[in-house]
Amino acid sequence: MKTYRAYAKVNIFLKITGTRGVYHEIISRFMQVENLYDELEFTPKEETDALSNSFKIIGDFSCTTEQNTIYKAYFALNEATGSTKLEELMQKYAITVRKNIPAFAGLGGGSSDAATYLKMCNNVLNLGLSLNELATIGLKVGADVPFFIYGYKSANVSGIGEVVEEFDEELLNIETFTPKIEISTPRVYTIYRENFFAPIDGFEAHKLKAMSSKEALESMSPSEANDLFKPALQEYKELESHYKPGYFFSGSGSSFFRVI
Which positions are catalytic?
9, 144
Q: How far is it, in rounded angstroms, from Cα 157 to Cα 169? A: 15
